[in-house]
Chain A
Amino acid sequence: MKQEIIDQTKKLAKDYDIYLQSTEINEVHLEKNRVNFANKVFDSGYGIRILKGGIGFSASNIKSDELIKKTILNAIKSAEMTEKVKFEFPKQGKYPEVEVVGRRIKNKGEQAVQEYAEQLLNEMSKDVLLSFGKVRSYDSFTNIINSEGLDVQKEDTNFMVELSLIVKKNNVRMEFWPHEYRRRMQDLPMERIKKWIQIANDQTIAKGPKTEQTTVVFSPEVVLDGLGTVLGSHATGSAKVNDVSRLAVGEKVATDELTIISDGLYPFGLGTSGFDDEGVAERKIPIIEKGVFKGFVYDQFYALKDNTKSTGNGLKQSDVFFMFDGKYGMEPGNQISNFYVKPGDASYEEMIEDIDHGILVEQFSWMDPDAITGKFSSEIRAGYYIKDGEIAEPIKGGLVIGNIFDMIQKIESISDKSEITSASNVLAGVCPYISFRDVQIAGK
């Protein structure tokens, strides 16, 4: 298929890039502590961008000669119909070595997924119902070729676990509902599952919080959804060029504790890659350094539009539903890679010890701030009071209300470990726990 697409594209177009991806997916579902579904999928396809005045895009997973030609001609026609742009496809670069392959998935995906599901079932005690669970692996091969002579290939793996853990105690049933992605299975070990079960257990005695302004600690996942959604959007070249960014280079936007990097190289990070989805080398780009905004991340289009160079941030990732297979069907967009928040000085335990009174939020129903304004108002699904420097009674319900731009100016402390995490709105993060002072809680 590959050679056919390249030959046809070369024949019909002068300036192009071709994105080829094939993925094997293995999946097992569990329901009420038993396996009830197994699936194996083979998915492959191609997306073609043509530069001919404007840029046109067309994609397909149909490999007949006729459809390949039609797909290319559609992209050419689309390029001719859109307004003329200043653009050129990237040239071959020097690419860093990165770690993105989980060997168990690569070598024995089907078996590895089944074994992980069995381990999960073994973790369930009589008090815990695994209401449902999904375990899925992706094993992908990607090849990008363009008319500038660029020809890059990569293998990567991804792994997904979604669980509904229900604990029943004293006629109260409570659920913890994690949904996580990693590159490798060992990065979601059974210790993590035990922690989730513990949170579900604690929720059976949880009460609603009271209305107050207090210190609030966000878990790494919540940090990624909160800060990543808003700052990740405002830090793109597209936001700058389209005049919808609040950030200006050199401006102090956060407390000194906050340093954020778009880190495309973090070992086994979900946004890690030797090159972005246009073939530009990935790297580490400082976004915020000691509270000062340092610069924007660019894909090829917005870099040229802003008279600069791509920073390797042309990525094919949906912010609605994360994609690992089928990326060929999307055009690259200007996005941050791994949203890396530099760890602070205090350990998590010391951070908690320093709080006389506050709230730890492990999970919101949905932390979904407005990417443009930074405002949010989210219901606590699983949290704890912090009292006299210790984790105290569990809480559930009530709203945390705030604005991310205000909160990053009220950071009290950042924990000394950043961990790979995924969230609801942003796929790829490496984040610590962060405490913010004077956050509004709307409760009883």
Chain B
Amino acid sequence: MIQDLMQRIVDILGDTYYGDVRYESSQSTGIGKNKSEESISTGSSNGLCIRVISDNKWHYLGFDTLDKEKILEEVKRLVMRVGNKPSKLWMQDSWELDKEVPVKEKPDSIPVEERMQTIRQIFSQAMTDKRIVNANIGMGNARSETIFMNTEGSNLRQVLPFFKFVMSVTSKQGKKMENDYFVLAKQGGYELLRGINAEDELNKIVKNSIAMLDAKLIKGGRYDIIIDPEISGVVAHESFGHGLEADQVMRDRSYLASLNGKKIISDLVSMHDNGALPKERGSFLFDDEGIKTRDNTLVDKGVLKKFMHDRQSCMLMNSEPTGNARAQDFSRKVFVRMTNTYVSPGEWKFKELIEDTSSGYYLIKNLTGMEDPLGGNMQMVIHSAMQIKDGELSGLFKGVTISGKVLEFLNNVDAVTDDFDIRGGGCGKGKEDYISTGTGGPYMRVRNAVIG
């Protein structure tokens, strides 16, 4: 049993100031189809990450092959080499957990043929309009198990189920091409797909992809804008949240470092990072340092309340761990990372918001966003926009970006709806270290925003 090997490793790590060992294993299936090919792929993997801290420096070992003798020998060598010098590190009482997040309908319980047939039907439907030249339809599921043990005596195990369903379509007219997409990515099983009307969602992206062929280029400038829940989530995560990762603060690399406790944005905006939220893509029971996940209020009515921490950063910043220590996999470093990051809902209705806006743009779907934790600048590429004139939506626009300073942007929020959604996605710390996350929020109106 892997736990036996892990216990032997922990016994050796007992000679260090602190050490832990994390075992990961996963099994996944992906099914997809486009115009030229169908694919079914499966994968399995495991890995072991061993960490030791001495004199505030972390030392890791990573193994994908569970060769007991080799691993124990390498661990002994590591312990001898690094010593047991004290470090500033959060210590806590040991705890135990063994939990598998339940799934209503396991995807792998449905025959692959049946799932492929569903994909084929959706693909055929997507291609019925001649202006659609290609479609990519796919679904994937994974079962991810983590076992964690450390020198505090904790013994934890969690099993998480991931499910993803993706549709994208490309329209073409002469040399002009456009596309649109739909993503469903959460924790759960096949019931998630049964819970949506895939046909309706497909029809929407087909219609919009075709309409985009005649979309006009937006004229850059300052406008009142309404952003959708997807864009609100990316602002919360990408433009704002990365600056609240405590490791960025400790590196002198956060524009938010000196603002804790201060009112920094509109009092209509509250933000959370909540790894304990059920069924979302950024949810888990304990982080990669064995800390229980929780709901962290980052901003309460415009006041900055908290940074996100790991065991080391919280000690250096006189705080507590927040359950945000995460690694891409056994081979990568544990960093302070976000989980499910979102703006809390308000009281407006989306319809009221449009009717209340005399002039501006309604921005729809986020394509990309990049963090700038030191500068606090935003760069987001948006899929499309509609013009708002006298409380009504009209016209479709492309080539839309949001730029400017994120604090100014969020300070100019003057209305927040009670419509609220969280979308599953992924996040890199810079350009690597990919993890699964959730981002979301309500519709928000932002006055005088810079769009291009």
Contacts and interface: CB of A to CB of B under 8 A. Distances in A.
Interface of A: 25, 27, 29, 31-32, 35-45, 54-63, 67, 70-71, 74-75, 77-78, 81-83, 85, 129, 131-132, 162, 164, 166, 173-175, 177, 179, 238, 241-244, 246, 301-302, 305, 320-322, 325, 329, 331, 365-366, 368, 370, 372-373, 375-379, 381, 397, 399, 401, 424, 442
Nearest to A322: B432
B370 A37 contact: no
B340 interface: no
A39 B62 contact: yes
A406 to B, nearest CB: 11
Interface in B388-442: 398-401, 403, 426, 428, 430-432, 434
Contacts, number: 212
Contacts of A399: 220, 401, 403, 452
A38 B177 contact: no
B220 A37 contact: no
Contact of A368 (B64, B331, B368, B377): B368
Chain B interface helix/strand/loop/mixed: strand
A310 B452 CA distance: 42
B194 interface: no
A61 B48 CA distance: 12
B64 A129 contact: no
B57 interface: yes
Contact of B64 (A42, A59, A77, A83): A42
A74 B29 CA distance: 10
A131 B253 contact: yes
A59 B400 CA distance: 40
Interface string B339-360: 0000000000000000000000
Contact of A62 (B40, B46, B375): B46
- Between A67, A175, A375, A379, the greatest number of chain B beta carbons within 10 A of the residue's beta carbon is seen for A379
A370 B176 CA distance: 13
Contacts of B64: 41-45, 61
Contact of B428 (A242, A321, A329): A321
Contacts of A162: 430-432
Contact of A35 (B57, B220, B379, B431): B57
Contacts of A55: 37, 39
B301 interface: no
B118 interface: no
B232 interface: no
Nearest to A63: B65
A196 B41 CA distance: 42
Contact of B38 (A54, A129, A175): A54
A401 B452 CA distance: 8
Contacts of B59: 37-39
B56 interface: yes
Given A377-B399, A401-B399, A56 B40 contact: yes
Contacts of A301: 36-37
Contact of A175 (B172, B253, B401): B253
A421 to B, nearest CB: 14
Contacts of B42: 57-59, 71, 74-75, 78
Nearest to B25: A62
Nearest to A136: B432
- Between A63, A132, A238, A377, the greatest number of chain B beta carbons within 10 A of the residue's beta carbon is seen for A377
Interface in B89-133: 112-113, 116, 133
A340 to B, nearest CB: 22
- Between A32, A166, A243, the greatest number of chain B beta carbons within 10 A of the residue's beta carbon is seen for A243
